[in-house]
Amino acid sequence: MDPKILVIGACGQIGSELTLKLKALYGNENVIASDIRDSNLEVVNSGVFEILDAQDFNSLSACIKKHEINTVYLMAAMLSATSEKSPMKAWDLNMNSLFHVLNLAKDKVIQKVFWPSSIAVFGPTTPAENTAQYTITEPTTVYGITKLAGERWCEYYHQKYGVDVRSLRYPGIISWKTLPGGGTTDYAVDIYHKAITHKNFDCFLSEHTKLPMMFMDDAIKASIDIMRADANSVKIRSSYNLAAISFTPKEIAASIKNHIPEFKISYTPDFRQDIANSWPKSINDDCAKQHWGWKPDFTLEDITKEMLLQLGRKYNNTKTP
Ligand code: NAD
């Protein structure tokens, strides 16, 4: 089956880069981008773009039929920090959008679904180091509750209705093209921007808060690889643990100081500290490695070099002469 793809949430931090990569792989005409707002010009201007509310089943269904879509990447969601401020809105968006897509797959309107989960499915009772694929999942955040419920529904739709849904528990994603959308790991992107523009950064997490993280290129590679993998090798249909690196704000600051010696960091933890405290520090992703060959490419040093290089160029280009 040649994929004809709809990306929902294509203007977001991950959706935007995923859309462009999918277009490069499968051809512009075979990847339709959609979002509730047209906030990313590169994506909007890169081919067919539809304004689409993922909670509106009729519009979603009409869009899928119009473009003869067989594969959906559902990237629209409310992220962790924003969800704590609007719990019911988060529940509605994160669950309704998933049900709509799963039901279209159940009815064979589409054949394949990618839906990202998160390390937020874990909670304070989960062993925090080298967190296993199968362990205690008692999330204490609204976002984590939506992701855990989503995972159970994905597995249910696969087992009961044969839906080909594939999922990854992303760690915090670091990228330079698009700003992150209200998560607890957003600091690890913002710190690079502030290192270049201000040479200092006030972090909303404390210096020793270790969290699992990943460079965008690795996250995109994993998302595409799991969708291209033979169906039999995707043995877990809830969601796979996925890991690359783990670091603290102090460690990322030290890696920036290697390139910008005058860079300074201060710490003013806010409500996001509680969210971070409830999440794992490092993740065991042996299942993803063994089942479909996952392997990350980027270390913290690689990420720092690339972020400073790309953001340096970006800010230089936007300076008025
Ligand atoms: P983001 O907030 O940057 O982007 C989400 C996009 O969805 C936005 O462009 C937004 O306009 C769109 N959207 C919101 N409501 C919509 C609706 N009703 N209909 C259609 N589109 C709508 O999020 P992201 O960081 O790109 O995350 C993508 C997915 O990855 C989400 O499921 C998120 O939970 C998951 N995830 C992200 C991270 C991370 O670090 N970024 C980590 C773990 C999991």
Q: Point out the catalytic residue in the list 73, 143, 157, 170.
A: 143
- pLDDT score recorded for residue 42: 97
- pLDDT score recorded for residue 321: 47
Determine, yes or no, domain membership for 81. Answer: yes
The response to whether residue 238 sits with its C-beta less than 6 Å from ligand 1 reads: no
The response to whether residue 54 sits with its C-beta less than 6 Å from ligand 1 reads: yes
Tell me the pLDDT band of 287, cut-offs 50, 70 and 90.
very high
Torsion of CA 35, 275, 88, 137, to 10 degrees: 100
Count of domains in the chain?
1
Region at 199 (left for phi over 0; alpha for psi -120 to 50; beta for the rest): left
The response to whether residue 296 sits with its C-beta less than 6 Å from ligand 1 reads: no
Whether 240 is a known active-site residue: answer: no
- pLDDT score recorded for residue 97: 98
Whether 275 shows a pLDDT value over 70: the answer reads yes
Query: Separation of 138 CA from ligand 1 center, angstroms?
Result: 22
Q: Which one of 7, 18, 35 would you pick to mutate in the ligand 1 pocket, going by the greatest count of ligand atoms within 8 A of its CB? A: 35
**Residue among 27, 235, 240, 223 at smallest CA distance from 113:** 223
Residue type, 20: L
Determine, yes or no, domain membership for 17. Answer: yes
Which whole-number Å values give the CA distances from 205 to 127, 185, 265, in the listed order?
20, 9, 11
Tell me the longest C-alpha to C-alpha distance in the chain: 62
Determine, yes or no, domain membership for 92. Answer: yes
What distance in Å separates the CA atoms of residue 145 and residue 168, rounded to the nearest whole number? 16
Determine, yes or no, domain membership for 279. Answer: no
Whether 65 shows a pLDDT value over 70: the answer reads yes
Determine, yes or no, domain membership for 187. Answer: no
**Residue among 272, 303, 295, 312 at smallest CA distance from 79:** 272
The response to whether residue 185 sits with its C-beta less than 6 Å from ligand 1 reads: yes
Determine, yes or no, domain membership for 312. Answer: no
The boundaries of the domain holding residue 69 are 5-121+134-168
Whether 74 shows a pLDDT value over 90: the answer reads yes
Determine, yes or no, domain membership for 84. Answer: yes
Determine, yes or no, domain membership for 198. Answer: no
The percent of residues in the chain predicted with pLDDT above 90, rounded, is 98
Region at 35 (left for phi over 0; alpha for psi -120 to 50; beta for the rest): beta
Predicted confidence (pLDDT) per residue in 228-257, tens digit: 999 999 999 999 999 999 999 999 999 999
Predicted confidence (pLDDT) per residue in 120-171, tens digit: 999 999 999 999 999 999 999 999 999 999 999 999 999 999 999 999 999 9
Q: Which one of 34, 170, 175, 213 would you pick to mutate in the ligand 1 pocket, going by the greatest count of ligand atoms within 8 A of its CB? A: 170
When the pLDDT of each residue in the chain is averaged and rounded to a whole number, the result is 97
What distance in Å separates the CA atoms of residue 12 and residue 18, rounded to the nearest whole number? 10
Q: Which one of 79, 226, 240, 245 would you pick to mutate in the ligand 1 pocket, going by the greatest count of ligand atoms within 8 A of its CB? A: 79
Are residues 299 and 236 in contact, defined by beta-carbon separation less than 8 angstroms?
no
Burial 278-301 (b: 16+ CB within 10 A, else e): bbbbbbbbebbbebbebebebebe
The response to whether residue 118 sits with its C-beta less than 6 Å from ligand 1 reads: yes
CATH number of the domain bearing residue 107: 3.40.50.720
Query: Separation of 252 CA from ligand 1 center, angstroms?
Result: 24
Whether 289 shows a pLDDT value over 70: the answer reads yes
